[in-house]
Amino acid sequence: MGKVLEWTPLPADMAGRTVEELLEVYRQSEGMKCPQKAKIQALINTAKDSIGVTEGTAMARFEIAALVRRYRQLEAEIAALDAELKALVQTTMEYQWLKTVDGLGDATIIDLLAEIGSFAHYRDPRQLVKLAGLTLKENSSGQRKGQKHISKRGRKRLRSVLFRAVIPLIRHNEAFRELHEYYTTRPVNPLTGKQSIVALCRKLLNVLFAICTKKQAFDAERMKQDVLSQVQRAA
């Protein structure tokens, strides 16, 4: 909405204008995404019913313009920081191995390494699962056996990064997609979509630990064979 605030900061600036006229105005601003026609029409309709600011408009425009400039400055600073982080991560030993996993982008790798550090610091992938709070915990009392849930005792941010990583992996990584389909459709104890994602988060940590400590590229075919073996054992 940066273009809207820059060129039409007040409702009065939209009064009596058509969608095409406002599009032409917004195209004058470089480097910012132009809003869609439907959104512009919605803004025009809202502006008609808005009382808006009728006094002190000069100062209101000045303040909004200052905020837009600050927003652009922050965007530029974030972009520069992202570029610096990417360059730094590319110097690590793990980067070349993590990049072999289809669907795992640079932003995710940066976030993962920021939370985990080097995989060489861990002796067993179960330490990473525990660090992320993804170990299973059973809620039981007396002779009553309860359902299992993740402990959530680890790093919340790491757990969030893993959840965000798994979603595109299901879409773009054939091995993870097949494993997700197996978890959710197996005839015995099928998992819900959310339960499958949790299981895939644990699987991802195991896979990343293996490829980084063994210094091997991700082998999608081997992982798919593991899925097939699970299906055959369950049959």
**Distance separating alpha carbons of residues 81 and 107, to the nearest angstrom:** 12
What the block records as the tokens of 84 is: 């610096």
Q: Residue 154: is its pLDDT beyond 90?
A: no
Residues 183, 186, 188, CA angle at the centre, nearest 5°? 115
Q: Residue 74: is its pLDDT beyond 90?
A: yes
pTM comes to: 0.72
Q: What is the SS3 assignment for 6?
A: helix
Q: Residue 231: is its pLDDT beyond 70?
A: no
Minimal CA–CA distance to 181: which of 169, 132, 211? 169
Token look-up 């600036």 returns 13
Name the average pLDDT for the chain: 84
pLDDT at position 235 is 57
**Distance separating alpha carbons of residues 219 and 105, to the nearest angstrom:** 17
pLDDT at position 68 is 87
Strand partners, 148: 138
